[in-house]
Structure 1
Amino acid sequence: MAEDTPPVSLADVEAARERIADVVHRTRLDRSRTFADLSGAASVGLKLETFQRTGSFKIRGAYNCMAQLSPAERARGVVAASAGNHAQGVALAGRLLDVPTTIVVPRITPAAKIAATRGYGAEVVVEGDIYERSYEHALELADRDGLEFVHPFDDERIVAGQGTIGLELREQYPEIETVLVPIGGGGLISGVATALDEEVRVVGVQPTGAAHAARSLEKGEIHELEDVDTVADGIADTRLLETTFAVMRERVDGVVSVTDEQIAAAMALLAERENVVVEAAGAAGLAALLSGALDCEDEHVGVILSGGNADLTDHADLVRTGLMELGRYANVRLAVDDLADPLGAIADRLADHGADLDDVRRGRRAGGDRPNRRSLKLGLEGSGPDHLRGVIDALDELDGVSVAAHDLRTDGPFGRRERT
């Protein structure tokens, strides 16, 4: 193999598709007129890996990797480190292939994810406060017990398996011109870029708090972050590794970044317009499309929604944050003469203006508040910033009530915040 030839080929991806064909779902591609209109794209196709087995694309690479183990390797078993989707992909692949599977997770892993992984038949070992310690322990187990270590992305077999999404995209969406792919360690985008020909622009998306890939491609060497800070824990990696870097530098056309707030807005829109629960990492591609991080005007754009394994409490909080970014939700603090008397009038005024009261609680007085007035905090949901602006003004006109402060987006999906 020439020095500049990536370690994964189209033939590898096509072989992976044959290997996993009877195991994975060929997930559907939904066309969205709404997102095309919002972004200016000619069309938008959402690749719904949220409906894949285990709830994410990870089973593709895990099964392709483990199906190629020798009989002796299968008998000894495999070990992996993961607090999320990779764990479940490896666990299910182990059950289907009759391979003993051990998953090492950090102590911060939610109980629901541990239960889901055990439900696929894996032994779960809780070790370490953070993922890096779990990773180290998994390598120690592999060395001590002769287990095969299944890496989440730095493996040609993993990359080839993830690339089967690209083959499906080409068949389901033949006019595709650009595809947006979330990047953590780079396994998914490396496989997709390998599967698609050079006529399709392949662009990666990372949260600003974990944006290492663009720097790596610019510098021509792997750039590692000291730490990460993002709600998108599924793509909160600190760096690429050798396999993914070698593929990406030859085949990926660019990388853009999005904020956590933009990701939350994309999650809210997906829940509302597509009736799909998407984890934060899975919404990164749509966030990039809607934020204008990439010019896709009049293009046919594919967006990979990579997973839907969201904690429902976290998802609800992020959707609320997303609605705020969209100007559809406002926090309002009222100063009222008395807590009891105005509540009925407030409820009637909201009903008259078609706004929903999501939250109400007693607040603390702030500087400048009159001592003989009480503070009341409201969470209001409406159809948009103009609607909510009118609702806030209407509340301010009530007898015995004045708006002391509010927090409202005023200029569109990813726009400026109005605070008073």
Structure 2
Amino acid sequence: MNGPGASVPAATDVVTLADVEAARERLDPVVHRTPLDTSTTFAERSGAAAVGLKLENTQRTGSFKIRGAYNAMAQLSAGERDRGVVAASAGNHAQGVALAGRLLDVDATIVVPEVTPAAKIEATRGYGAAVVVEGASYEPAYEHALDIADEAGKTFVHPFDDADVIAGQGTVGLELREQFDPDTVLVAIGGGGLVSGVATALKAHDPETRLVGVQPEGAAHAKPSLDQDRLHRLDEVDTVAEGIADARLLERTFAVMRERVDDVVAVSDTALAVATTLLAERSKTVVEAAGAAPVAALVSGAVDVADERVACVLSGGNTNLTEHAALTRTGLMALDRYVEARLALRGWPTSVADVTETVAERGAELDVLERARPTASDDPNRTPIRVGLEGSGSTHLADVLSALDSHPTVSVVEHSLDAALDG
């Protein structure tokens, strides 16, 4: 692109409402019409009149990606189906292409970067696709997939920069309008396929519907692209949300977003952790960090939604349980409801009971208790341990730590609650 907006097609030349509606007909017997849950908790925290959560984490394969993948692959010629397809993905598009391949009897090869969670890789193989692990991030995996497609004569199924893929993702918007009728819709952005499709579906029915994209701060390429009216590529990405850790938009998604997306905001990884935690606790919903991005924008105040009907598209729920546990623990710490502390015990191991009893008496939860590696500053006549405690807030946890420190056999050496107490 030589200058601002140069060589960018019009959004209508990429995808239209008619394309999305045609995709819906193809997908109707294949995908779930995912539920929309309402949340008083998130409405109260954000000042919105109402909040709806579009649960694409309950979709087949655990994310919205099956919609676009199947819509694109269902339109391949007989020869293209015989030769098979190849795709590159951090996980969710991989599973969508793999399942679509199984349903359409098309061989699929998926290239994934090394950061892809094992759960996503195993699920992709479970749908019958061949998986190739290549590259430290998405970009080298993407380039390797293009090489495979070129050498083997396979069709490359792009995760976002494809009109049929965008149209398939747009069916989320059709369902959302029928279920909730929002004023503002928050959608995560990686490469922009989902937000482009949803915006196409919703803006065609009501141009006043506000579409806001959400990206992690460590992968925030979309807003510079839209503000400068030219594609902006990041040199590197750094975010816990590997599902939307893209470095750029591409021509088609840029063309649609510049006309149909009203704003893009960025959220921190800590905000993603808090949103993931609140979704699990308050809505009983497990999402991956990328899927929590819209709620992160909502509860962090990144977007003003006062007195509006707001819909958040929870785009995926494919996460390792250990990663989800670690992320929610970070979220609890950010909410001042979890503290890590180093204690020194006299009379090990019988004094461990003093710790557990004191924590229980104060109404807190003991999440971790383990011996710590001694350091030069430790009293050699005391046994260092590390504990993790969950409570109702910083005041509650401070009370628990004070009670532990007052016990004859326990000393609190250090803890992570200082910042919250200082605040």
Do Structure 1 and Structure 2 share a fold, with TM-score over 0.5?
yes
Q: Is 1:321–2:325 an aligned residue pair?
A: no
Q: Unpaired runs of 5+ in structure 1? A: 410-415
Distance in 2 between residues matched to 1:336 and 1:108, nearest whole Å: 40
Q: Secondary structure at the match of 2:351?
A: helix
Give 2:79's match in structure 1, choosing from 68, 72, 79: 72
Match of residue 395, structure 1, among 374, 387, 404? 404
Deviation at 1:369, TM superposition (A): 5.3
**Residues 169-192 of structure 1, C-alpha deviations (whole Å, 9 max, x = no match):** 100002x11111011001010111
The letter for the 1-side match of 2:58 is F
* AA at the equivalent of 2:190: G
1:12 aligned onto 2:26: no
Q: Which residue of 2 aligns with 1:187?
A: 193
The whole-number CA distance in structure 2 between the counterparts of 1:62 and 1:89 is 6
Residue number in structure 1 paired with 2:3: none
- Percent identical across equivalent pairs? 63
Cα distance in 2 for partners of 1:341, 1:390 equals 23
Residue 217 of structure 2 aligns with which residue?
208
Aligned partners of 2:116 and 2:242 also within 8 Å:
no
User: How far apart, CA to CA, are the structure 2 residues paired with 1:378 and 1:343?
Assistant: 11
Q: 1:3 to 1:306 in 2, by over 3 A?
A: closer
2-side partners of 1:86 and 1:190: how far apart? 16
| Letter matched to residue 210 of structure 2 | R
From 196, 202, 221, give the equivalent of 1:196. Answer: 202
- Structure 1 window deviating more from structure 2 (387-396 vs 21-30): it is 387-396
Structure 1 counterpart of 2:48: 41
CA RMSD of aligned residues (A): 2.1
Instruction: Give CA deviations for 1:352-387 in whole Å, capped at 9, x if unaligned.
Output: 111111111223556865554442221001122222
Deviation at 1:130, TM superposition (A): 3.9
Q: Is the alpha carbon distance of 1:34 and 1:111 closer, same or farther for their aligned partners in structure 2, counting shifts above 3 Å?
A: closer
Q: CA deviation at 1:131?
A: 3.1
Moved more, 339-348 or 90-99: 339-348
- Displacement, 1:2? 10
The answer as to whether partners of 2:394 and 2:421 remain within 8 angstroms in 1 is no
Q: Could you state the TM-score of these two structures normalised by the residue count of structure 2?
A: 0.92
Q: Is 1:231 aligned to residue 240 of structure 2? A: yes
Q: 3-state DSSP class of the match of 1:196?
A: helix
Distance (whole Å) between structure 1 residues aligned to residue 149 and residue 116 of structure 2:
21
Partners of 1:367 and 1:126 in 2: CA distance: 43
Cα distance in structure 1, aligned partners of 2:135 and 2:220: 25
Shift of 1:125: 3.0
Q: 1:165-218, CA deviations, whole angstroms, 9 ceiling, x for partnerless residues? A: 1111100002x1111101100101011111112221111111111111111111
Bigger mean CA offset, 149-158 vs 395-404:
395-404
- Distance across 1 between alignment mates of 2:9 and 2:253: 15
Measured in 1, the distance between the counterparts of 2:376 and 2:308 equals: 51
In 1, Cα distance between the equivalents of 2:138 and 2:28? 31
* 3-state SS in 2 of match to 1:163: helix
Residue 352 of structure 2 is matched in structure 1 by 343
The 8 Å contact of residues 188 and 294 in structure 2, kept in 1 or not, is answered as yes
Offset at residue 328 of structure 1 (A) = 1.4
Shift of 1:108: 4.9
Q: Which region of structure 1 is more displaced relative to structure 2, 399-408 or 148-157?
A: 399-408
Counterpart for residue 69 of structure 2: 62
**Which amino acid counterpart does residue 348 of structure 2 have in structure 1?**
L
Letter in 1 for 2:156: F
Residue from 348, 356, 361 that aligns with 1:352 = 361
CA distance in 2, matches of 1:30, 1:108: 31
Aligned AA (1:169): L
Matches within 5 A, 1:18-417: 18-174=25-181, 176-197=182-203, 198-364=207-373, 370=379, 372-408=381-417, 417=420
Shift of 1:106: 3.5
- For 1:59, the aligned partner's letter is I
Q: Tell me: CA distance 1:182–1:220, structure 2 relative to 1, closer, same or farther (3 Å).
A: same
Structure 1 runs of 4+ aligned residues shifted over 6 Å read none
How far did residue 5 of structure 1 move? 4.0
- Write the distance in 1 (CA, Å) between the matches of 2:87 and 2:8: 31
